Chain A
Amino acid sequence: MSELNKAMVNKYRNDFLKEVEANVEEGDWVKMCMQCGVCSGSCPFGPYWEHPPQEIFMMIRAGKRDDVLKSESMWMCTSCYNCIVRCPRELPITHIMHGLANYAHRLGIAPKMNPTRRFAKLFWKNITKGGRVNELKLSIGLYFMDGFSNGIKKGLEMLPVGLGMVKTGRLNPFALLGGGKCKGAGDIHKMLKKAQEIENRRKGFAS
């Protein structure tokens, strides 16, 4: 268990709801759920959720910390916002799911091999480097996520797509050398560092 995770377990003891309210984006909405299930039914990836949002809210109240934070479920969110617009209690469900995923990730207990988690990581690295997306590096990074040989295989699968994009001028083969840069990249790095700091301070993450 990561240090941070240990710290949080001790801090909140058996009150997972309080932990979520304090540390998860929009977490203080969780208590407002009335278990109607409209969110669970509205999710395009619903069938792939081990625990749908409304059940997750109930699990949080029931203190099932590990079952929630170690779950793949939140990582299924496609950010389609169907749940948000249909929720009769106006819970910002999409953000709560993002928040839970992010929190689990920070605690280091999110499912290691979850592809979305890994892609998200890669994506963030990619955009924060220069301030903008470098699509070529992003996709290549993506293919080689599971090691060189798999990467080649996936790369080959995706080759037609890639070539199509290149042919139509929608993918820059030279972007490996750069591209996706802001002049203010430096500022951005400083900003993100600061933001991280503040969030840790706010949420009492000793780091």
Chain B
Amino acid sequence: MADIKIGAYVCKGCGLGERLDIAQLVTVAKREGKAQVAREHDFLCNGAGVAMIREDIEKEGINHVVIAACSRRAKTDAFGFDNVAISRANLREGVIWVQPDTEQTKEITQEMAADYVRMGCAEAGRMQVAVTNPAHGSNKRILVVGGGISGMTSAVEAAKAGYEVLLVEKSGVLGGWVGRLYRRMPSHEPYSDPMETGVPELAKAIESNKRIKVYLNSVISRTSGAPGQFSVDISKESGGTTTENVGAVIMASGFEPYDLNKLPELGGGKSPDVVDQAGLEALARTASGGAIKRPSDGKEVKSVAFVQCAGQRDDSGKHLAYCSGHCCNTSIKQAMYFKDANPGVDTVVIYTDLRTPGNGEDFYRSAQRKGVIFTKGKVSEVVPGTDLQVKFKDLILNEDAVAKADLVVLATGMVANSGVDIDAAGGAPNVEGQPEAAAGNGKQVSVLNLTYRQGKDLPLLKHGFNDSHFICFPYETRRTGIYSCGPVRRPMDAQQAIEDATGAALKAIQAAENAALGRAAHPRSGDLSYPAFRREGCTQCKRCTVECPFGAIDEDEQRYPQFNESRCRRCGTCMGACPVRVISFENYSVDTVGYQIKAVDVPDQFSEKPRILVLACENDAYPALDMAAMNKIQYSAFARVVPVRCLGSVNTIWINDALTAGYDGVILMGCQKGENYQCHFVKGSEMAHYRMSKIDDTLKGMSLEVERVRTCEVAITDIQRAPSIINEMAETIQKIGLSPMKF
């Protein structure tokens, strides 16, 4: 890229003009910031101000712009210039709004502002305009793994949007579990009767769809590459492997019912007349609207008992701890099979909490109208025999009771086909805590066979499901370009699976589209920067490959990191991890931050003016400080705040630099870590805390007090706490005195 021409623009609006010596700041930008052009303006964000900057970009060839005005979170419309590197010196939220307007404080406030101008120039000087990563692929085919209702839906919906789809199903037919149902729950008003599954029609539509290529009796034996350039081996049961290239992957590998035989106390495996919900569907299909006959003796079923939460919501640790969500509605539907065929059949549903959210309530009422009996009770035992005895505690009448039935249906739960647990299989530390052993039916076969350094399948969230950890972002995935949907991600019914599969199709399409443009995926969507490393400097320590939260980095034949830029989320955790600092992004590097730290003017120890470096996560801590400013909550004028992409990107060299430069304190503000982590990059905050736990030795080595460095979790709502953390540090420094490291 051409030589760097910095233009620095200092705004006088919003009281900056009244509070600060703008002329001095302009001089600082020129003299110290090495800005070719430095100007002030009364009202930088309005038409005239912006025009002034544009003119410099066009006429003066300014390619690096420093906006010394308000926070980088404000006025983004006005200051969004294309193809120039932009740095924002936060004089409003960062200085005048957090400092008292008094004569005594005028000097330190001005120093604060001047430092931010220096820092802005320093950052701009080290930045490059990000250009898309050269290694991107542009394949936009979508691979869908699993031919159940979820996979079929994803395939059809993606094709509808004009995309080519490969649909891989391990069995010989499309349809999955829903395909084996007699009917499914109603999806629209009046929500009163079971409805057709629609699977045959869907299967036909797929077979006749020229955009969808179906592989039956096939599994994925290898997946390598990255969004826009995945390469997958599809192996047929009969032998023979085809290699296909795709742009994104949807994992819709579904579930298995929890093994009935694990519930002998409920008659599971003890009597042919004790079936699970899948078993009942089979009986219903055979009867197809007629009287349902029981397995043991083909006798027409006259009474049936449904046992809810069989092996679910289990607190003994023996079975599934969670609720599969659909089972109440499913039992209601199945009870209707009997009632609709013959109202005389006695049907009782024994439950502890009946869970029919949303319009399921109508379905519940409809079943009652049809005469299905609901009993709130806890079943302790099912005694096999010609008429089975269901022993339960009636929780309403508060007594032990027995229900006799010709057939007993156990509502067992869903177990995800999520492949191998890569965390249990050893790999990156599992931030979710160890998954419980009981989850699953034991067998673990990889679904995707990823060739990734960090394991063969998607990381699991909980109970063996690979759902997103984020409430706002259900499609957030830790393997870029690979999205899971349907019951493999979370227990759900067919209707939800269809909705989920459609959403997953969008995300897959989006990932392929972004990959083709070399852009980052969520949360830094659109970011064109990408990590690069100096091969000659690399010591092959593998920290980056191990610590990358997204499994983006593999190792090449010579054991050097291989970045797979299209898998990267640009969090910089690798940059923070690198002990030899060879990893950087064009617009975010060890230098862009390092030089800001060095740019700050550190007064000598007699001036009584400490300096506190605050490295704040740009997603939570930095906005919190911004909002503190909007509420005019003040904090120490000695603080210098630098936003970072993620605390994970903080390289300890920055701390060393700061301390050796004579800073008196350093604060790292990151997101909550641990089980309910808030870090948008999963492990960034956790890694930072881990790394900083080792800083104490460094401090001791420099004979500095450990209190001078503090790492804390700050939420975006800590609008009052964040400033107080800074002030506490200021007080600490008062107590322990200034750093001796000032020269």
Contact = CB atoms under 8 A, between A and B. Distances in A.
A31 B396 CA distance: 15
A31 B368 contact: yes
Given A31-B373, A34-B374, A35-B376, A62 B368 contact: no
Contacts of B375: 58, 61-62
Contacts of B374: 34-35
Interface residues of A, number: 13
Nearest to B364: A34
Contacts of A62: 375, 394, 397, 401
Interface string B353-382: 010000000001100110101111000000
Interface in B327-374: 354, 364-365, 368-369, 371, 373-374
Interface in A7-35: 17, 31-32, 34-35
B368 A32 contact: yes
A31 B371 contact: yes
A35 B376 CA distance: 9
Contacts of A17: 373
Contacts of A34: 354, 364, 368, 374
Interface in B368-406: 368-369, 371, 373-376, 394, 396-397, 401
Interface in A73-113: 89
A34 B397 CA distance: 14
A32, A34, A64 — most chain B CB neighbours (10 Å): A34
Interface size class of B (residues with CB under 8 A): 10 to 19
A58 to B, nearest CB: 5
Interface string B436-466: 0000000000000000000000000000000
Given A34-B374, A35-B376, A61-B375, A55 B397 contact: yes
A32 B396 contact: no
A19 B373 CA distance: 15
A81 B236 CA distance: 69
B368 to A, nearest CB: 5
B374 to A, nearest CB: 7
Nearest to B372: A31
Contacts of B364: 34
A61 B373 contact: yes
Contact of A58 (B354, B368, B397): B397
Contacts of B371: 31
Contacts of B396: 35, 54-55, 58
A32 B371 CA distance: 9
B581 to A, nearest CB: 65
Nearest to A21: B371
Contacts of B373: 17, 31, 61
A35 B373 CA distance: 12
Nearest to B361: A34
A82 B368 CA distance: 23
Nearest to A15: B346
A161 to B, nearest CB: 42
A32 B394 contact: no
Interface in A102-126: none
B368 A59 contact: no
Nearest to A89: B365
A57 to B, nearest CB: 9
Interface in B613-667: none
Interface in B94-117: none
A17, A32, A35, A54 — most chain B CB neighbours (10 Å): A35
Contacts of B365: 32, 89
B376 A59 contact: no
Nearest to A58: B396
A55 B396 CA distance: 7
A103 B435 CA distance: 58
A56 to B, nearest CB: 11
A17 B652 CA distance: 75
A83 B403 CA distance: 30
A187 B394 CA distance: 51
Nearest to A33: B368
Interface of B: 354, 364-365, 368-369, 371, 373-376, 394, 396-397, 401
20 contacts: A31-B368, A31-B369, A31-B373, A32-B365, A32-B368, A34-B364, A35-B374, A35-B376, A35-B396, A54-B396, A55-B396, A58-B394, A58-B396, A58-B397, A59-B397, A61-B373, A62-B375, A62-B397, A62-B401, A64-B397
Closest 8 CB pairs of A and B: A58-B396, A32-B368, A31-B368, A61-B373, A35-B396, A58-B397, A35-B376, A31-B371
Given A31-B369, A62-B375, 8 more contacts: A17-B373, A31-B368, A31-B373, A34-B354, A34-B374, A62-B397, A62-B401, A89-B365
